[in-house]
Amino acid sequence: DTAVSQTPKYLVTQMGNDKSIKCEQNLGHDTMYWYKQDSKKFLKIMFSYNNKELIINETVPNRFSPKSPDKAHLNLHINSLELGDSAVYFCASSRGRRTDTQYFGPGTRLTVL
Amino acid sequence: TQLLEQSPQFLSIQEGENLTVYCNSSSVFSSLQWYRQEPGEGPVLLVTVVTGGEVKKLKRLTFQFGDARKDSSLHITAAQPGDTGLYLCAGVRGGETSGSRLTFGEGTQLTVNP
């Protein structure tokens, strides 16, 4: 069984388009995260939700909007895509306590042309 | 911004050799985690070290947390090709009541040649 799943795996789109990435976890976790990994493999947190409430919002352009319809889902919507948005986006989840293990999804490789 | 510096950034060695990866920061973290990431997959947690000076072993991997909780090291003994991957350290900040804010290092790409 897949613990944290993301769709799509690959996303190729034109500049200016709007796109969404979906994430689902079946671990019963309370907290979910979005990370961005750039071409140099640097991984940086973007957002975190706990029980559908936004708790971490790093300095991310307003074009990025996370949405959590329920505890098991955290989607990422990106408006007006730019070339610099090209990266691998990872969803993760954890039980919610500070030292808990974060389980990462397989990633979505976004390429903006 | 609390930065974690990892070194070396790239490491290519022969099977059977030993290696050490370092993770350093000027900031104190409540705990530190090491992850391994393979191509096309997300990072997978290897270990969490919490106490200053703590040493944890995972088969041929030895993890150490610095006494001041600002740095950590990962030592691999008799490396094997299956150890090839991207190793990431991540500092966990204290204070949050829910969830954890991970600050990742830049990663060490390890290649073990047969």
CA-wise closest residue to B100 among A64, A35, A72, A25: A35
Instruction: Tell me the residues of B at the A interface, defined by beta carbons under 8 Å apart.
Output: 30-31, 37, 40-45, 48, 50, 86, 88, 92, 94, 96, 98-102, 104, 106-107, 109
Q: Is the pLDDT of residue A45 over 70?
A: yes
CA-to-CA dists, residue A22 to A10, A106, B51, angstroms: 12, 12, 37
Stronger pLDDT, A96 or A8, i.e. the higher one: A8
Report how many Cβ contacts below 8 Å link chain A to chain B.
70
CA-wise closest residue to A27 among A73, A78, A79, A87: A73
Q: Name the phi and psi angles at A83, rounded to 5.
A: -55, -40
In angstroms, the separation between the Cα of residue A69 and the nearest Cα of chain B is: 18
Beta strands in chain A (DSSP E): 4-7, 10-13, 19-25, 31-37, 43-50, 53-57, 64-70, 73-78, 87-94, 103-104, 108-112
What tens digit of pLDDT does each residue of A48-89 get? Answer: 888 888 887 787 899 999 999 999 999 999 999 999 999 999
| Average pLDDT taken over every residue of chain A | 92
What tens digit of pLDDT does each residue of B77-87 get? Answer: 999 999 999 99
Contact B99 A99 (CB under 8 A): no
Task: Using an 8 Å CB-CB cutoff, list chain B residues near A90.
Answer: 42-43
Beta bridge partners of B91: B32, B103
Q: What percent of chain A is modeled with pLDDT above 70?
A: 96
